[in-house]
Amino acid sequence: MLDKLMRKESLSYEESIVLADDVLNKRITDDKIEAALIKLNLKGETYHEIAGFATAMKRNAKSFKATELNIMDTCGTGGDGLETFNISTAVAFVLAAAGINVAKHGNRSVSSKCGSADILEAMGFDLQLTERENEQLFSEEGFCFLFAQAYHTKMKTIMPIRKKIGKPSIFNIIGPLSNPANVTHQMIGVYTSKLLRPVYEAMKTLGLKSGAVVHGYGGMDELSLEGENEVLCFNGVKEQHLILNPKHYGFEKIENKQLKGGSKAVNLEIMQHLLAGDESPYKEAVIFNAGFCIYLNERVESIKEGMKMARMLIDEGQVEAKVNAILNTQAWIKSSTILDEIFEYKNQIYASDRQDLLPLSMNPKQEASVKKRAKLSPLLKSSRALYLKAQEPSFYPIIGEIKRGSPSKGKFTEALDIESVIKHYEALNVIGISVLADQKYFYANEEDVYNVSRLTDKPILYKEFIVSEKQIQMAKQKGASLILLIARMLPVEQLEYLTQYAHEHDLEVLMEIHQADEFEKVSGIDFDILGINNRDLQTFKTDIDVSVNLYNTLGLASYSKPIVSESGITSLDEMDYLIKIGFHGVLMGEHLIRSVTQTGIKICGVKSVEEAHFVAQSGAHYIGLVFAESKRQVAIQSAYEIVNAIKETGIKTVAVFKDQTVAEINKVIETIPFDMIQIHGPFDDYEALNRPVQIIKAFSYKEILEAITAYHMLSSHPKVDYYLMDAMVPGSGKTFDWEILKQIKSSKPLIIAGGLTSDNVAELIRGYHPFAVDVSSGVEQEGKKNKALMHSFVKQCYSADECKLINRRRKL
């Protein structure tokens, strides 16, 4: 085959498959691969060669199994140099909304600034879905994205050779034809008319039911609105050579340069406006292309009808609704798949361990710890403790949690100081401590449970996905007081057996439910504590109304066992409410306990990703990015990169504005997914904000003094969520007279800024109890955020708040 290429002879379809397979599997040397690709390009690739290489690519790709009879894809080969917006990706959404099955195949940017993978990632699509997850998403929604890097893994070995050649090769042509889903319908755009016929014939050779190759006016690899477009298409045996003029279909002339895209942030903003139905050149281009694809799929009788349908789907919000449905289903699949995977893994490890149920060996320290805790019984009994402590109004019966990470968010921190966390929990007088014991998915250390038992006499919940007796033995060995069993994940017989086994080993059982039928399922089991999980273990969404509704529906007011509400409790008011209606305790994670018992900490004026990571690691709750003119002003692109870099940390992001128009604010919040905005200066146009965000309205000390009463000024607008009190000159690093805070009457939480440092913030918190504190210059050195100063500031805030919860009495 190589000899034929050297003689400038073309390869057959079958020969091309063999050569491509040898190339992908490196059965020939790099020099020969390089020579083959160069010779193919010099003589011009035939459709047999294009089809053969595409076939080999699909055979060497990861599999994608679908039962649907018809599957569509649309994309360009790239190379037109126009750097247009992601038209084919938007078209794919329109087709999905039209009920057409779409397996979108694409990659990151090559010839543009933002490829299909880039824009989808910016929208929230997970590029790392497994084959099974993608297949399930496609089955549920009729849409999925097949990330080329994830499916064509063997291309990694070819990339160095392609880079060395430095010119386009056959691999640049076959990308759209290599869709692992084996699509039946496809529209491909080519940047040069020379590729029209070869790609068209290759498409037919691959056996598609219906296909089209388009060459847009001006070399565009999409249908262009600037002039006439050449199209070769077929539907079964019917073949057509079309010249599509946009004027014939009612479109005004739009030049290709008007469809220019940009970075991910820019293209995301364009996509959001398009999905919302806003008029723009981008919308018209998408309608033109999508309408033709709808016609190609025989959903309408004519191309004009296809374009009419595409416009209707966008204008009526059906396309936007479809995108949201796909993203929601993706989240559900990701979470439910993880849970199934966890239990499958646990069963593989522990289900076959029944032959080894002798007591596990303990070292002397572990044995002494377990014996010491056993002597404290029955005072240590968790169920008894819950009953006793729930009657005392001087503190909250909280079960604190120690967790190093999760499957969805990864590891929270490299170093968790368990001793420090235990001291914090002891100071809060928690009723017990839950410790995540799973090492693979929740990043627990093997000795976490034992170390906690060594440091406290509080009851310890061994929080693990328990499927076997051996796990119960391990819980006992490490010093736990009770174990968790999840009602929905195990048969009732297994739940009953494991409960009995735990009791035989002097361990209590917290039985967790989420639905009413699960309560009925376990009603005959003699467990010790009933836990109602507000988090749905399939969707991972939390809602404390789950606890409230089940409590009322199941008539738990007269229930004989202690009841605990788990997950999703984010405020003292929510805890008050749950305890008032009859719950004996609540389970909360450490970061949530800190967020409701400690003053919020906002570090403002961050200008780089590096500084943002410092802030996220410091223990702060909010990070501020300034868009007003100042020495701390940040550009939109930089802000997008910062917010994207820390989105998994859980820290809330705040965009800060001063004397800026609603249009300027909207431009930022539509482009970047900020959690909150902070507004300095006159502003009343809250209703015109295009995206729902929490709002902080800032006032200077001078504005407070000039007001007739603080009460009148601080009740200015119902859309405002928080008020921020700043110095006479915001950003000056100077403080103000805090005594004025005692005169302020407001139903909104107060955030205090102005001249705060690690030297004075504790005094402010102890004396005036603000909702949150805001610092900028106080954690800077030579104009940059200083890691040591940030940690010192946060430490002082935590120290000042350590006993806040103990000193507050419940008012039930």
Supply the DSSP string of 210-273, one letter for each residue. Answer: EEEEEE-GGG-SS--SSS-EEEEEEETTEEEEEEE-GGGGTPPP--GGGGB--SHHHHHHHHHH
Q: In the numeric block, which tokens belong to residue 761?
A: 């913030």
Q: Is 171 helix (H, G, I), strand (E, B) or coil?
A: helix
What mean pLDDT do residues 609-636 have? Answer: 92
Could you tell me which of 639, 544, 628, 574 has the C-alpha nearest to residue 265?
A: 639
The C-alpha atoms of residue 507 and residue 372 are separated, in whole angstroms, by 15
Distance between CA atoms of residues 325 and 141, nearest Å:
8
Would the pLDDT of 426 be above 90? no
The residue-averaged pLDDT of 540-557 equals 90
- pLDDT at 428 (0 to 100): 72
CB 624 within 8 A of CB 435: no
Give which of 800, 792, 791 is closest to 772, Cα–Cα. 800
The answer to whether residue 707 scores a pLDDT higher than 70 is: no
pLDDT of 590: 53
Q: Quick one: average pLDDT of 752-760?
A: 93
> Going along 320-406, which residue ranges are E strands?
398-402, 405-406
Judged by DSSP in three states, 565 sits in strand
Q: Which of 161-170, 453-462, 742-751 has the highest mean pLDDT?
A: 453-462
For 497-646, where are the E strands, in sequence order?
508-513, 529-533, 563-566, 585-589, 600-604, 622-626
The DSSP call for residue 691 is S
Cα–Cα distance, 688 to 60 (Å, whole number)? 52
Identify which has the larger pLDDT, 480 or 595.
480
> Strand 102-106 and strand 143-147: pairing?
parallel
Q: What is the mean pLDDT of residues 352-371?
A: 50
Residue 756: the pLDDT is: 94
**Confidence band of 390 (pLDDT split at 50, 70, 90):** low
The pLDDT, as a whole number, for residue 268 is 93
Task: Go through the domains of the chain in sequence order and give each one's CATH number.
Answer: 70-150+178-323 (3.40.1030.10), 368-595 (3.20.20.70), 598-807 (3.20.20.70)
Higher pLDDT, 683 or 184: 184
How far is Cα 404 from Cα 444, in angstroms, rounded to an integer? 6
Phi and psi at residue 235, to the nearest 5°: -140, 100
Mean pLDDT of 493-505: 96
Q: Does residue 482 contact residue 461 with C-beta atoms inside 8 Å?
A: yes
- The rounded distance, in Å, linking the Cα atoms of 155 and 151 is 9
Which of 419-423, 480-484, 577-581 has the weakest average pLDDT?
A: 419-423
Query: How much is the pLDDT for 359?
Result: 46
Q: What is the pLDDT of residue 2?
A: 76
Q: What is the pLDDT of residue 604?
A: 96
- pLDDT at 654 exceeding the cut of 60: yes
Q: What CA–CA distances, in Å, run from 537 to 51, 360, 563?
A: 45, 31, 19
Burial 605-628 (b: 16+ CB within 10 A, else e): bbbeeebbbbbbbbbbbbbbbbbb
Residue 14 near residue 52, CB atoms below 8 Å: yes
Q: Given pLDDT bands bounded at 50, 70 and 90, which one contains residue 375?
A: very low
pLDDT at 69: 77
Q: What is the mean pLDDT of residues 93-119?
A: 88
Structural element, H or E, at residue 655: strand 652-658
Which whole number is the average pLDDT over 205-220?
Answer: 94
Give pLDDT tens digits for 138-158: 988 999 999 999 999 999 888
Which tens digit of pLDDT belongs to each residue from 781-798? 988 999 999 999 998 888
Q: Where are the alpha helices (DSSP H) in 456-531?
A: 469-477, 492-504, 516-522
Statement: residue 296 has pLDDT above 60: yes
- Residue 713 pLDDT class (50, 70, 90 cuts): very low
The first and second tokens of residue 616, run together, are 């996220």
Q: How far apart are the first and last CA of the chain?
A: 85
How many CB atoms neighbour CB 413 within 10 A? 12
pLDDT per residue as tens digits for the range 716-738: 567 788 889 888 665 556 788 88
Which residue, 250, 259, 266, 260, is CA-closest to 311?
250
The whole model's pTM is what?
A: 0.52
Question: Which residue did the predictor score with more confidence, 232 or 719?
Answer: 232
72, 186 in Cβ contact below 8 A? yes
Q: Report residue 464's pLDDT band, with 50, 70 and 90 as the boundaries.
A: very high
Average pLDDT of the chain to the nearest whole number = 85
- Asked whether 12 and 48 are in contact (CB, 8 A), the reply is yes
Q: How confident is the model at residue 372 (pLDDT cuts 50, 70, 90)?
A: very low
Helix (H) or strand (E) holding 564: strand 563-566
**What are the helix (H) ranges across 376-491?**
382-390, 418-428, 448-455, 469-477
Please give the Cα distance from 616 to 569 (Å, whole number).
22
Quick check: 448 and 422 in contact, CB under 8 A?
no
Q: Grade residue 659 by pLDDT with cuts at 50, 70 and 90.
A: very high
What is the rounded average pLDDT of the residues 458-462?
Answer: 93
Residues 6+ apart with CB under 8 A from 446: 439
Q: What is the pLDDT averaged over residues 3-28?
A: 91
Q: Residue 361 — left, alpha, or beta (φ > 0 → left; ψ -120 to 50 → alpha)?
A: beta
Omega before residue 378 within 30° of 0, cis: yes
Q: CA–CA separation, 49 vs 42, rounded Å?
A: 13
What is the pairing mode between strands 410-411 and 432-436? Answer: unpaired
At residue 376, the pLDDT reads: 36
